[in-house]
Every structure is written in C-alpha cells, then in structure tokens.
Amino acid sequence: MDELRDYYQEWLEEELKPTVDNFGSRKKEFKTASDIELEALYTPLDIDDLDYLSELNFPGQYPYTRGVYATMYRSRLWTMRQYAGFGTAKETNQRYRYLLEQGQTGLSVAFDLPTQIGYDSDQPLARGEVGRVGVAIDTLKDMETLFDKIPLDKVSTSMTINAPAAVLLAMYVAVAEKQGVDRSKLAGTVQNDILKEYIARGTYIFPPEPSLKLVTDIFEFCSQELPRWNSISISGYHIREAGSDAIQELAFTLGNGIEYVESALERGLNIDDFAPRLSFFFNAQMNFFEEIAKFRAARRLWAEIMRERFGAKKDKSCMLRFHTQTAGAALTAQQPENNIIRVAYQALAAALGGTQSLHTNSFDEALGLPTEKSVKIALRTQQILAEETGVADVIDPLGGSYLIESMTDTLVEEARDYLEEIDKLGGMAEAIEAGFVQREIQETAYEMQKDIDNQEQIVVGVNKYQEEEEEEIEDILKVDPELEQSQKESLQRVRVNRDATKVEKHLTKLREAAEKEENLMYPILAAVKDYVSIGEICGVLRDIFGEYEARHF
C-alpha cells in the first residue's frame, strides 16, 4: 500500500499539480449539490479492497484507458460541435453564426451528396440533390461565403468529406489565406476516411488503391503545412449506423486505422510525424455502460497498436482522440420528442467515456433537416450536461467500477479477435474486397432487427408504448427547391468571371501530377485558388484513376 501511495503522490506532483492551480477557463469550486467537495481524480486508494485491480494507470498515461489528458474536463470541456449544412453556402453560414451565438464551440460541415461524390451542382447526376442533405460547395467562392465573418483562426472546423477531401481541405486553406490567417493556426479535422465508404456509406469515387494514395497525400501535406490540423477522422460512426454492434464498430474502425498507418509508412512517412494528428469518430448508442466501456477500450487498444505494432515513440502518437455523435439510427419518427431523452443519455455516455468533441442530434432528424429550434435544444443538451450535472467535474468518474472495467476488458479482447482475423485476410482493404466486413455487419443488423420485431429489444414508441394517434410535428425544415437553380446560376457566374486559360493550365498540371503519382494536394490547392471547381478537379482524377463499382455480397 505504501508503494502504491508513493506512486500516486508522484503522479499528483508531476502530472496533475502543475495544472491544479490554473484549470484554464474552468476555475471553480468542484462540489456536489450537497456541498461535498470533489477530488480531481478518484483512484483505487479510495477503495478499501485493492485485490481486484491488477495494475494502476492514470489519465494522460499509457495506455490512456482513463483518458488521453491528465486533467480531462477539469481544464477544458469537450468541444461542442454541431453538424450542420443545407441549401447554399449563404443559408448554412447563417446557421453557423446562429449556433456560435448560442454557445457552440466548434463548427462541423455537412456537405450535400453531389459535393460528397465530386460533382458540380449543374452536372446532370446532381439534379434534385443540390443542397438537400448538406451544403452545396462547387468552387472557392462557395467556401468564402460559407465562412463569411467567421474568423478561421478562432474556430475549430470539422469537415465530413471523404472521396474529394483533398479538394475541400484545399478550399479551406485558401479561404484562410484570403482572411490573412496563417496555415499554422488552422485547427480542425477533415474526415478523409475512405475505407468506411466501401463498408457503410457508399460515397466513394475512385477504387481503393488511388483513394488510399489521396488519403496519404493529405497526411503528408498536413504533417508539413498544418501542424494543428487532424489529417483524418477514422470513423466508426457510419459502421455502427449500418448495423454493427459495439465490438464490430471498435474492431473495424481500428482496423481501418491500421490500414491508413501502413499506407503512410509505405510512402516513407515517419510514424511520429503524422500519427499525433490522427483522430477518430465514434457513435454513441443506447446501451449506456457498453458505450462508455467502448470508448475506454478504444484508447487502450490504439495505444497498444501504435506502440507495439508500429513502434511509435511519442506519447501523442499513441493517444486516441475522438469525436462522438449521438446515434442517428436510434432516432424515431414515432413520438419524436422521445429523441430528446435518447440524445441526452447518449451524450452522457460520451462524456463519461472521455470524448474530445461531441455532436448531439436534433429530435426531428428522423423527419427532416433540423430546425433552429430543434438544433438549439440539441446544443442546450450538451451545455446542461457540461454545466449543471457535475459530470465534467471528476476525471473518469466510472474508472474502477467493476462493471465498466470488466466490460472494457471484454471489448478489448473481442476486438482483438476480429483484428487477428482481419490480419489473416491480409488487412482491412483485403477484408473489405472479400466482403468479410460487410457480411459481418449485415448479419448483426439482421439479428438486431429481429430482436426489435420480436420485442426482445424495446424501442419506446415503436414496438412498445405506442400511441394510436401521433402528434404531428408541423415545424419541419424543408430546403427550397429554388435554391438548386440559384446555386447553378452562382456557379455559372464564377465560370464566366474566372480566367479560363489558368483553369486549363491547372487541370493539365493536375493530370500530370496524378500520372506521376506526385502529392496532389499542391496542384489542387493552386487550382482552387483560381476557382477551378470540384467537378472539374474530380473529373480529371476520374479519368486517371477510374471509378469504383460496388460489389454485392
């Protein structure tokens, strides 16, 4: 016991004490509603029986099970990042500024379907989809409007974009330069996670090999040019939305991460140059304790993978930092107000699991795009959680719970089994091509739906506690169909006013760089600055790389 106490005191002095006296923006007395003073961290020393705990670890220490930072929310709350985008850049800019006025602390951009698959708004395949599920971005002009009066050195921005991620990141950098913001000050994330598109979402453009090349181009560019930017957000969210369970979400997400790291190492990049800027994106579903354990297991597994498998030396290379979004698949069109409660519990799980940023879904998203009213409720859910519940006042408050620790261990072991199977298949790219990952998710989704149909899993308002007459939600946001024509006209004006000779030169240089397998971020950045469109850039790359055709398993 004395040895354990000495180790704890050493940790307090070296890791925690330097920040105790200055907890950043959260200087306050940490007490319960009953005026009980809260310690910054509860450890096994607060438990009489230590026999159940085989090893001691603290937040901010390898393998980071208890959190990636020593002080966690004591020094800084998670980033409140509400995912938003619809119509044209002008409408979305208004929504962003509204959210920032309401206390949101980070931006998250939702792009429309044509943008996600690299088409301009006036291309025939874009008809009827412009601005529907996100904002339409064709050229740098749209990006300038999107961030009008939003200083990019003052906000952190996440962009949910994958196949054409290089184009949108280049546009963001170009907007920052126009604002006079140095690249080194840009903070945020580009999703850039193409493998999960083949697994779950389907918004891919190119085959896996050139797609992985583009991912690695962004890794290399960010390591050299954007020191505060996360070069990827390796996403389990969409894998879970497709029907996976928590173990599969964990294993397949980390499996994708391994594939990206190996691709970067093959390029010749140093693990400790790019690994600290890798980030992750997880789903928060309804099984409360399992979700908390999942987040803890993810940190432990990734730390071990980076140190033991890839030989990372820097502590930051081993830290799994992640964004969480509450589960879209858990939202119901029946009794939609119930979704407010669902989202609150999911957000609580994310906070207890140690997320670095969080999006809370709006209650009406099973019916349409969120309104200002519903998105404000979603944001207030996070703010109440952070400011009123005391959840953020203690670091890893469920650490040491028999249930949580046992479940964390179980999730680690089950995910390891999957990762070993994936390695036997040759890695995630091969496992996806073979249909292994897709089949596993499909089988799980089928079994889950059977459980709901048989009432073995209850969904309130859907298979139990139904109401004969549903109250209609009248205030549903609908995108004005005239906005599509407005976006096309705006794109045409850009084309008329830009230098057509420069456009052709940029496209030629891009083609040459793609054929030579050079890093494409630099010619793409040069092109977008002269208002070359996303459709024109992706059109050249389609010619060189071809398009991926989905296989059915």
Q: How confident is the model at residue 384 (pLDDT cuts 50, 70, 90)?
A: very high
Backbone angles phi, psi at 53, to 5 degrees: -105, 115
pLDDT (0 to 100) of residue 113: 97
Q: What is the mean pLDDT of residues 253-278?
A: 97
Distance (Å, whole) CA 311 – CA 293:
26
- Nearest Cα neighbor of 290 from 444, 177, 414 is 414
Please name the helix (run of DSSP H) or strand (run of DSSP E) that holds residue 343, with its range, or none.
helix 338-352
- Whether residue 111 lies inside any domain: the answer is yes
Q: What is the mean pLDDT of residues 24-32?
A: 67
Backbone angles phi, psi at 352, to 5 degrees: -65, -25
Is 106 in contact with 123 (CB distance < 8 Å)?
no
- Whether residue 426 lies inside any domain: the answer is no
- Whether residue 436 lies inside any domain: the answer is no
Determine the 3-state secondary structure of 453 from DSSP.
helix
Across 404-418, 445-459, 470-484, least confident range:
470-484
Q: Structural domain of residue 281, as residue ranges?
A: 72-421
Q: pLDDT of 346-359, one tens digit each?
A: 999 999 999 999 99
pLDDT (0 to 100) of residue 360: 98
Please name the helix (run of DSSP H) or strand (run of DSSP E) that holds residue 281, with its range, or none.
strand 278-284
- Structurally, the chain folds into a number of domains equal to 1
52 pLDDT exceeds 60?
Answer: no
Is 291 in contact with 284 (CB distance < 8 Å)?
yes
- Whether residue 343 lies inside any domain: the answer is yes
- The CA-CA-CA angle for residues 518, 255, 543, to 5°, reads 30
Across 5-19, 133-147, 356-370, least confident range:
5-19
Q: What is the CATH number of the domain that holds 402?
A: 3.20.20.240
- Whether residue 548 lies inside any domain: the answer is no
Q: What is the mean pLDDT of residues 497-514?
A: 98
- Whether residue 9 lies inside any domain: the answer is no
For residue 261, the number of C-alpha atoms closer than 13 Å in the C-beta half-sphere is 26
27 pLDDT exceeds 70?
Answer: no
Q: What is the mean pLDDT of residues 104-116?
A: 96
15 pLDDT exceeds 80?
Answer: no
Q: pLDDT of 459-497, one tens digit each?
A: 999 999 999 887 777 777 777 888 999 999 999 999 999
- Whether residue 519 lies inside any domain: the answer is no
54 pLDDT exceeds 60?
Answer: no
Across 52-56, 121-125, 386-390, 525-529, least confident range:
52-56
Q: pLDDT of 62-79, one tens digit each?
A: 999 999 999 999 999 999
- The CA-CA-CA angle for residues 238, 243, 245, to 5°, reads 95
Name, in order, each residue with C-beta under 8 angstroms of 98's C-beta and a sequence gap of 6 or more.
372
pLDDT (0 to 100) of residue 470: 76
The mean predicted confidence, pLDDT, of the chain is: 92
> Rounded to two decimals, what is the model's pTM?
0.91
- Whether residue 46 lies inside any domain: the answer is no
434 pLDDT exceeds 50?
Answer: yes
- The CA-CA-CA angle for residues 199, 159, 151, to 5°, reads 175
Q: What is the mean pLDDT of residues 304-308?
A: 98
